[in-house]
Amino acid sequence: MSARSADPQDGGNAPGSRVASLPAHLRKRLADACDSGTLPDAPSPLALRSVLGMTDGSGNLAADLAELARLGITGRALAVWVRSLDEAGRRSPALDLVWSGPEVPGLHARDTRRVYEELVRTAEQSVWMSTYVYFDGPQAFAELARRMDEVDDLRTVLMLNIQRARGDTTAGDHLVRRFAERFWGTDWPGTSRPAVYFDPRSLDPDGPTGVLHAKAVVVDDEAVFITSANLTAAALDRNIELGLLTRDSALAASVTAHFQGLIDTGLLKPLPSA
């Protein structure tokens, strides 16, 4: 899937394209650093990693800033331009298509796995995540667990489906305990723990009256990724899956408010600690 890119530092070739595709919190740090003179006109990748706290793409961003400097866009002028990107984005948030599966020659598309991992890696305040199915928990949740261990106060809420196998007559509370023991004992790879919720309707012994089927990620009350893909290797890499990614704070607030409402009214129940 080399033709696809979710890394904001892997943007297009036009001058400023990699700056424009940075997450909003990194654009703010860049503008502040340009305003204060903390960064030189053509900073090195090492300087960008140090000042902006970047983990990926600093080489590409350094090349982009060097090209802007060659055009005379530096210092406070660069800071003003960077801040104007956020203002334009607030007026008309961009929507990006995100695909899994075979590539189509000649068509550029963002890649589901890379979008998911980039969103999690750049989270600073909160992550809300919902999935119907996940396989290989230590792998599926590796990036999220790592980010939680890096950012002490990162608020993380997971919403997961607990499946009752057809013909299984096990009591619902026992299924929940069994799921919790497996999740906390085997599937969750981090030392910090997220808040986890499930839809109890899926455990109805007479057959589910409904399940938690939403697949979505909301990061820092800003980035919203809604997708058909579950947290499985097949869905992230091989299946033909389609999603939308946008940075729209109003939409982000709407999604998290709905999830919070489901939690507050008891429609989603907390997973017990094992």
Q: What is the mean pLDDT of the chain?
A: 88
pLDDT above 80: residue 23: no
Q: What secondary structure, in 3-state letters, does 158-189 show?
A: EEECCCCCCCCCCCHHHHHHHHHHHHHHHHCC
Give the mean pLDDT of 17-23.
Answer: 81
pLDDT above 50: residue 7: no
pLDDT above 80: residue 30: yes
pLDDT above 80: residue 106: no
Tokens, residue 195 = 């808040």
Rounded CA separation 73/28 (Å):
17
Tokens, residue 100 = 């899994």
Query: pLDDT-based confidence at 3, cuts 50/70/90?
Result: very low
Closest C-alpha to 83, from 15, 6, 26, 11: 26
Report which secondary-structure segment, H or E, holds 155.
strand 155-160
Is-contact 149 244, C-beta < 8 A? Answer: no
pLDDT above 70: residue 1: no
Digit-coded pLDDT (tens) for 55-82: 677 888 999 899 888 888 888 888 898 8
Where is pLDDT greater, at 1 or 178?
Answer: 178
Portion of the chain with pLDDT greater than 90, in percent: 55
R_g of the chain, CA atoms, integer Å: 21
Predicted TM-score (pTM) of the model is 0.68
Give the pLDDT of residue 92. Answer: 57
- Go through the domains of the chain in sequence order and give each one's CATH number: 8-91 (no CATH), 95-270 (3.30.870.10)
Determine the residue type at 114: R
Closest C-alpha to 131, from 265, 229, 244, 236: 229
Rounded CA separation 213/169 (Å):
22
Digit-coded pLDDT (tens) for 191-209: 999 999 999 999 988 877 8
Rounded CA separation 183/213 (Å):
18
pLDDT above 80: residue 89: no
Q: Which long-range contacts (CB under 8 A, 24 or more apart) does 136-139 make?
A: 136/232, 136/233, 137/183, 137/186, 137/187, 137/188, 137/189, 138/186, 138/187, 138/189, 139/233
Determine the residue type at 210: G
- CB proximity list for 144: less than 8 A, separation 6 or greater: 120, 127, 129, 156, 190, 194
Grouping H, G, I as helix, E, B as strand and the rest as coil, residue 248 is: coil
Digit-coded pLDDT (tens) for 218-228: 999 999 999 99
Tokens, residue 272 = 């017990």
Give the pLDDT of residue 5. Answer: 39
pLDDT above 60: residue 12: no
pLDDT above 50: residue 47: yes
Rounded CA separation 230/208 (Å):
19
Is-contact 24 119, C-beta < 8 A? Answer: no
